[in-house]
Structure 1
C-alpha cells in the first residue's frame, strides 16, 4: 500500500476509542463503535470503516447524537422493541440483536426492532455477532434517500442493506451482506474523483435520465440492483425498519452528512433463530455442500467460486496477519482529528 498504512487491529480499536472518548462519548458505546468501524476495515469494507469516524465525531460535537443515551428494551412475547434514544447506532443495533438472541433462547425464533438510532456500520457485523454464537440471523437497516425506486426518476429510498448469517459447526459463518443498490455509492464517488465514466445502470441524472457521468449520478440518484427486485427489497426494508419499527422512513430519515437540524432516527430490524439442533442434524451435509460449491469450475477471469462473505474472510485473515489497511487520505484525516482532540496517534510499523 504505497499510499496507505497498515496497523494492528487492537491498536486501531484503541485509537478509535480514544478519539470517541475525547469527543464526549461515554459508556459501552465507545468500544462498540470502535469495534464496528475497525471490523469493517478488517473485512475489507473500507467504505464503512474508520473513514466514517470523523463524521461520527462531528455529529457528536454538534449535538446530533446523544453521547450518554442508554437504549431501552420492551419485550412482548418473542419480540423486542428498542428505543435507541438517539444513541450511537452501534450501541442501538447491538442492543437490539442481543435482545433477539436472548428471546430466541426462550422461543426458538425471535425478532427485534429499533427506532431513534443512527448510522450503525455494516449489517454483517451484527448478523455475524449472532451467528458466531450459533444463531441464524437476518439483519436490516434503512438509510437516507439516495436511490430511486424502479420506474421513478427522483431519490425516494435508501440503499437499504440486508445481511444474513448462517452458523457452521466448524469455521466462520456464511455471511451475505448486500445493499439494495446496483453498486455502492462510494464506487461512483471514486469514479467521479478519477474523472472516469460509470457503467450504464448505476445511476440517473437530476432529470431522471440514465447517465454514465459519475458527477451527474451523484447529483441525481442511484439505481436499485436488478430493477424491481432491488427496488422491492429496499421498500420492504424501509417498511420494516422505518414504518413498523417507529423510526423515520423515506425522506423523513436524516442524512448523516447533510442534515444538521435533527437526529437521523434510523431504524433496524433483526430476526434470530436458534440453530443448534439443525447444525447437529445437518452440519455434515452443510459442510459437504459448501465444499462442493468451492470445487465448482470457475468462469473465465475468476480464480475460484467463492461463498458469500468469503472475500471478506480472506481480507480479515490478511489484515490480522499483516495489519489492517487504511488508505493514505483516511489516515491523514484521522491524524488531523487526533491532533485536534489531543489523542496520541499510533506509530506506523516500518
Structure 2
C-alpha cells in the first residue's frame, strides 16, 4: 500500500471564509475534473453532487472532495473514459459493471435503470460492481423519489470502522439512504453512514486543524480519541454499538460480497491505497407505488403522515418536529439564495488545485461577514 495520502493535517483555518454562489462553485469543480480527463457530462455530474452536498450543509461530502477525485484521476486509479456495461438483466433487475469509472457515473446509471425497472412493474433492483466512492447516496435516492418511486440505496466503503467489541479496522462506514416521494414537498430522505459519523467529517476536521467530538473514533490502539489525525490513523466507531456494526456487516455482504464479489479489506481505500482500484459495490432498489396500493393512495398517506409529524409538540429547544431531510432542504434554500460559505482552507485548496491541473475557471467569492449564522447539518453519510 502506498504511503501517499490526500488529507495531510492543516495548520488551522486562518484564511477568511468566502461566500460563493452555487453556479460558480459547480463550474469551478467541473472545470478541475475536466482538466483531469473527465468528459463534460461526468465532470458536471460529480461537480453537481459535491455542490449539492455543500449546499445542504454536508461539507464532508462537498467540494473538499474535489482534490481526492482529481488526484485519483491523475494517478490512474480511476478510468476517466469508462462507461458502465450491463452484465445481466431481466425485467426487474440489472447487474451493472461500472468498469472502474468514477463512482458517480456507475451510481447515476444504476439508479436510472432501477427507476426504469420499477416503472415497468412494482420493483426494480440494480447491483453495481467495480465502482468507486459516489458521493452522498441521497443524491440518487432523492432523484428517484422526485420521479415518483421510493428508493433504497446501500454501498460498500473501505475498512475504516471497528466492529462492536473490536479495536482495529474491520469494515466500512457502509452508508444507507432511503427516499420517499411527497406530493406537497421535497422527498422524505434518510442518508446515513453506519458509523457514528461520516469519516469525511473527520478528514475535514483534520484539514482545518480541529478536534472531533467524543465517541466518533478510536486511535490505532483502539483507545477513544478526539484528535482528528489520531482518528484517521485509527478507526471510526459504529453508531449504536452493535446496531451500526451489524448493519455495516450486512451491507458489506450484500453490496460487497453478493454484488461486487469483494468485501472488507478487498475494498481499496480512496485516500490511502494507490495500488489498486477501490471495487466499491452499490445496490439500488426502487418500489413503484402503483404496484402496491397505488400512487395516489400512497402519496395521500405520506402527506397525512408528514402533517402528523409536523403537528407533534416539539421538545424544549426545538421549534418544530421535522421530517428526515428537511434540515438539509432548508440549508439548500439558503444556499440557493445566498451562496455557500467555503472555509478559507478549502477555498485556497480549490484555487491551488485549479492552478495545478490547468483548469479554466477560478473562484472569486466574497469574504463573508463573520456575524453570519450559517450552521452545518447534523446528518452524516458515507465514507
Structures share fold, TM-score greater than 0.5? yes
String of CA shifts for 1:188-231, please: whole Å, max 9, x gaps. Answer: 456666564632x3323323344455544333221111111101
- 2:311 pairs with 1:298: no
Give 1:46-65 correspondences, 5 Å limit. 46-65=59-78
In structure 2, list runs of 5 or more residues that go unmatched: 1-14, 368-383
Q: Which moved more, 1:111-120 or 1:318-327?
A: 318-327
Q: Which moved more, 1:85-94 or 1:19-28?
A: 19-28
DSSP 3-state at the match of 2:184: coil
Structure 2 residue aligned with 1:345: 362
How many angstroms does 1:141 deviate by?
A: 0.8
Structure 2 residue aligned with 1:198: 213
Give 1:182-261 correspondences, 5 Å limit. 182-189=196-203, 196=211, 198-199=213-214, 201-211=215-225, 214-261=228-275
Q: Indicate how the Cα distance of structure 1 residues 53 and 228 shifts in structure 2: closer, same or farther if over 3 A, else same.
A: same
String of CA shifts for 1:15-71, please: whole Å, max 9, x gaps. Answer: 222111111112531221111111111111111011101111111111000111111
| Superposition TM-score, scaled by structure 2 size | 0.85
Structure 2 residue aligned with 1:327: 343
Q: Which moved more, 1:40-49 or 1:188-197?
A: 188-197
Give 1:1-350 correspondences, 5 Å limit. 3-26=16-39, 28-73=41-86, 74-189=88-203, 196=211, 198-199=213-214, 201-211=215-225, 214-276=228-290, 278-340=294-356, 341-348=358-365
DSSP 3-state at the match of 2:126: strand
Q: Indicate how the Cα distance of structure 1 residues 308 and 342 shifts in structure 2: closer, same or farther if over 3 A, else same.
A: closer
- 8 Å CA contact 1:127, 1:138 repeated in 2: yes
Q: Which moved more, 1:271-280 or 1:181-190?
A: 181-190
Q: Indicate how the Cα distance of structure 1 residues 209 and 36 shifts in structure 2: closer, same or farther if over 3 A, else same.
A: same
How many angstroms does 1:186 deviate by?
A: 4.2
DSSP 3-state at the match of 2:220: coil
Structure 1 residue aligned with 2:8: none
- 8 Å CA contact 1:4, 1:326 repeated in 2: yes
Q: How many angstroms apart in 2 are the aligned matches of 1:33 and 1:327?
A: 20
How many angstroms does 1:305 deviate by?
A: 1.6
Q: Indicate how the Cα distance of structure 1 residues 196 and 44 shifts in structure 2: closer, same or farther if over 3 A, else same.
A: closer
- 8 Å CA contact 1:141, 1:237 repeated in 2: yes
How many angstroms does 1:11 deviate by?
A: 2.4
Provide the aligned length of Structure 1 versus Structure 2: 349
How many angstroms does 1:282 deviate by?
A: 3.6
- 8 Å CA contact 1:116, 1:267 repeated in 2: yes
Q: Which moved more, 1:272-281 or 1:221-230?
A: 272-281
| Superposition TM-score, scaled by structure 1 size | 0.93
How many angstroms does 1:317 deviate by?
A: 0.4
Q: How many angstroms apart in 2 are the aligned matches of 1:113 and 1:285?
A: 30
Q: Which moved more, 1:249-258 or 1:282-291?
A: 282-291
Q: How many angstroms apart in 1 are the aligned matches of 2:259 and 2:179?
A: 22
DSSP 3-state at the match of 1:144: coil
Q: How many angstroms apart in 1 are the aligned matches of 2:205 and 2:30?
A: 32
Q: Indicate how the Cα distance of structure 1 residues 89 and 247 shifts in structure 2: closer, same or farther if over 3 A, else same.
A: farther
Structure 1 residue aligned with 2:373: none
What CA RMSD, in Å, does the superposition of the two structures yield over aligned residues? 2.1
In structure 1, list runs of 5 or more residues that go unmatched: none
